[in-house]
Amino acid sequence: MALASPSISEYGLQAMALFTAHQQEIALALLDVVMPHCGGMALAKRIRSVNPDVLVIFLTGYDQEHVLHG
């Protein structure tokens, strides 16, 4: 089984376009919680509306207090 190379997007909407174009090949999304043009939480909801089986892992450089409470 060959591993696919990762695809990287800096912006949430760009990542959604990439996912839409390659949704049959993507089983895992690594998302930053804070992303320009569509945050990771909103992006995960959009991705899961297309394919609810995609696994999502959230990453962030912010501390929990900042992410949860602004």
pTM given for the model: 0.76
Total number of domains constituting the chain: 1
Buried b / exposed e across 30-42, counting CB within 10 Å, b at 16+? ebbbebeebebee
* 50 pLDDT more than 50: yes
Q: Is residue 34 part of a domain?
A: yes
- End-to-end distance of the chain based on CA atoms, in angstroms? 43
Residue 59 pairs in a beta bridge with 32
Q: Is residue 38 part of a domain?
A: yes
Per the structure, the complete domain to which residue 49 belongs is given by 12-69
pLDDT > 70: percent of the chain: 83
Q: Is residue 16 part of a domain?
A: yes
Q: Is residue 39 part of a domain?
A: yes
Q: Is residue 30 part of a domain?
A: yes
* Contacts for 10 with CB less than 8 Å, ≥ 6 apart: 35, 36
